[in-house]
Amino acid sequence: MLTFLTIFLGCLAIYLLLVAGSGPGATFLTQLFSYEELIAAVLLALLTAVVTRVVIGKAVNDNMLKNPLRLGMFVFYTFTVWLYYLAKANLDVAYRVITGRIRPGIVRIKPGLKTELGRTILANSITLTPGTLTVDLDDKKDELVIHWINVGEYKDEKEKLNGVCGPFADWARRIAE
Amino acid sequence: MDVIIIVLLVLIGLSTFFSLLGVFGLMRFPDVYTRLHATTKCTTFGSLFMVIAVMVYGVVRYLEVESYNQGSFIVLTVHAFLAFVAILLTNPSGAHAIARAARRTGIEPEQAVIDEFEEVK
- Per-residue pLDDT band for B51 (boundaries 50, 70, 90) equals very high
- Collect all residues of chain A within an 8 Å Cβ-Cβ radius of residue B70: 31
**Average pLDDT taken over every residue of chain B:** 81
Cross-chain residue pair A104–B44, CB shorter than 8 Å = no
B-contacting residues in A 106-145 (Cβ below 8 Å) = 106-108, 123-125, 127-128, 131, 133-136, 138, 145
Nearest CA distance, A88 vs chain B (angstrom): 10
Range B79-83 average pLDDT: 89
Q: Is residue A42 part of a domain?
A: yes
**Range with top average pLDDT, A44-48, A162-166, B23-27, B101-105:** A44-48
- Per-residue pLDDT band for B121 (boundaries 50, 70, 90) equals very low
Tell me if chain B has a CB within 8 Å of the CB of A40: no
Q: Which domain holds residue A111?
A: 85-176
Please answer whether residues A146 and A107 qualify as being in contact, where contact means their C-beta atoms are separated by less than 8 angstroms: yes
Is there a single domain that holds both residue A54 and residue A90?
no
Confidence check: pLDDT of B2 > 50: yes
Nearest CA distance, B8 vs chain A (angstrom): 20
Task: Give mean pLDDT in consecutive 10-residue pieces for chain A, a chain of 177 residues.
Answer: 79 84 70 81 89 74 61 77 80 79 76 74 75 75 75 68 70 71
Which among A75, A97, A103, A124 is the top mutation candidate for probing chain B, defined by the most B β-carbons within 10 Å of its own β-carbon? A97
Is there a single domain that holds both residue A121 and residue A169?
yes
Confidence check: pLDDT of B12 > 70: yes
Tell me if chain B has a CB within 8 Å of the CB of A93: yes
Provide the CB-side half-sphere exposure for B31 (13 A, CA). 18
**Range with top average pLDDT, A42-51, A61-70, B83-92, B99-108:** A42-51
The conformation of residue A103, written as its DSSP 8-state character, comes to B
Which residue spans within chain A are E strands per DSSP? 105-109, 132-138, 143-148
Q: What is the ipTM of this complex?
A: 0.73
Q: Is residue A114 part of a domain?
A: yes
Which pLDDT score is estimated for A158?
67
Domain boundary residue, one of A23, A41, A59: A59
Query: Could you give the number of structural domains in chain A?
Result: 2
For chain B, give the percent of residues with pLDDT over 70. 87
Is there a single domain that holds both residue A168 and residue A133?
yes
Please answer whether residues A161 and A109 qualify as being in contact, where contact means their C-beta atoms are separated by less than 8 angstroms: yes
Q: Is residue A72 part of a domain?
A: no
Cross-chain residue pair B92–A128, CB shorter than 8 Å = yes
Q: What is the side-by-side strand order in the sheet with A132-138?
A: A105-109, A143-148, A132-138
